[in-house]
Amino acid sequence: MSPHAAPNGGHAYGDTVRRAHSSVSAFYAARYRHSPAAVWLERIAAGEIVRNGQRLRADGPLQPGDRLMWHRPPWWEPAVPDLPGPLFDDGDLLVLAKPSGLPVLPAGGFLEHTALRLLERQVRAGRLDAGAGLPRPVHRLGRFTSGLLVCARRPASRAWLSALLRDSTAEACRAASTAAEEAPAACRKVYRALVGPLAAEGAGALAPGQSLRITTPIGRRPHGRLAEVWAAGGREPLPALTTITLLERRAHGCLVTAAIGTGRPHQIRIHLAAIGSPLLGDPLYRLGGAVDPTALPGDPGYRLHAHRLSLPWPPGAGQRLALEAPPPPELCSHGDRPGVSA
| pLDDT confidence tier of residue 177, bands split at 50, 70 and 90 | low
| pLDDT confidence tier of residue 339, bands split at 50, 70 and 90 | very low
Please write the tens of the pLDDT for every residue from 51-103.
Answer: 999 999 999 999 999 999 999 999 999 999 999 999 999 999 999 999 999 99
Looking only at the bridges linking them, the beta strands covering 235-238 and 6-7 are unpaired
In this prediction, what percent of the chain has a pLDDT beyond 70? 91
Indicate whether 273 pLDDT > 60.
yes
Cα atoms in the Cβ-side hemisphere of radius 13 Å centred on 232:
23
- Give the pLDDT score at 165: 77
- Give the pLDDT score at 168: 65
- Give the pLDDT score at 172: 59
Q: What is the DSSP string of 288-323?
A: GG-B-TT--TT-----EEEEEEEEE-STTSS-EEEE
- Give the pLDDT score at 342: 41
Per mean pLDDT, which range of 72-81, 182-191, 245-254, 304-313 is the poorest? 182-191
**E strands present in the chain:** 6-7, 11-16, 49-51, 54-55, 67-72, 76-77, 88-89, 93-98, 136-137, 145-152, 188-195, 211-214, 218-222, 228-232, 235-238, 242-250, 253-260, 304-312, 320-324
List, in order of start, the domains of the chain with CATH numbers. Answer: 6-77 (3.10.290.10), 88-153 (3.30.70), 181-331 (3.30.2350.10)
- Give the pLDDT score at 163: 84
Its pTM stands at 0.87
DSSP state for residue 93 in the 8-state scheme: E
CB atoms under 10 Å from CB of 139, counted, come to 17
Q: Average pLDDT for residues 288-298, to the nearest whole number?
A: 91
- Give the pLDDT score at 244: 96
Contacts of 53 (CB under 8 A, 6+ apart): 67
Indicate whether 341 pLDDT > 80.
no
| pLDDT confidence tier of residue 109, bands split at 50, 70 and 90 | confident
Average pLDDT of the chain? Answer: 90
